[in-house]
Amino acid sequence: MKKEKLRSVYLAKRKELNKQEVEKKSNLIFDIIENNFILKNKKISLFLTIEKLNEINTFSFLKKVLTTCKLIATPRSDFKLNELIHVKFKSLDQLKTSEFGIPESEDGEIIQPEDFDIVFVPLLTIDKSGNRVGYGKGFYDRFLSKCKPECIFIGIYIFEEIEEIEDVNCDDIKLNYCITPTKIITF
């Protein structure tokens, strides 16, 4: 299937989930992460949940690892430049919900892409080769392409991986891992 169709299918699948299912699956995913990845003293990028899109709930995970990680930064979308800007996270007080329903830091210290050790990546679906489908603007692919080569890209995903995304292109950045409620997928 092609990306545009996959977006439609997986947005609909997520809408079918209730809040309790999303919360349960989110907790399972983050338990797997905490038990299998070293986050202590790491600089991580963590996207914040877009509730209206029934995304994985990252807020409870954020609270848990805030004191463990060396630094946590959250993305802010610059729609004029089509780029993600990462801002050091200090507290929920710095967040404002954008017109697109995205919780973002209005101000704070900007963290450069090459500073991250781990990037948690949102996605709608992923294939068995580590190719992901996002929301279609390329924000994450542009950001990931600027990260240092040893940075680990981890997708977090409610469903199971699909066989293949038909229209992957040279600008698409593959993930290193994807965490589902039941397993770690290594690419």
- Find the mean pLDDT for residues 78-91: 92
Task: Give residue-wise pLDDT tens across range 58-75.
Answer: 999 998 898 889 999 999
CATH superfamily of the 3-186 domain: NagB/RpiA/CoA transferase-like (3.40.50.10420)
Task: Give residue-wise pLDDT tens across range 149-164.
Answer: 999 999 999 999 999 9
The 3-state secondary structure of 65-119 reads HCCCCCEEEEEEEECCCCEEEEEECCCHHHEEECCCCCEEECCCCEECHHHCCEE
Task: Give residue-wise pLDDT tens across range 24-71.
Answer: 999 999 999 999 999 999 999 999 999 889 999 999 999 889 888 999
Task: Give residue-wise pLDDT tens across range 103-153.
Answer: 999 889 999 999 999 999 999 999 999 999 999 889 999 999 999 999 999
For the cut 90, the answer to whether the pLDDT of residue 165 exceeds it is: yes
The string over 155-181, giving b where at least 16 C-beta atoms fall within 10 Å of a residue's C-beta and e elsewhere, is: bbbbbebbeebeebeeebbbbbbbbbb
- Find the mean pLDDT for residues 176-181: 97
Claim: this prediction has a pTM higher than 0.75 = yes
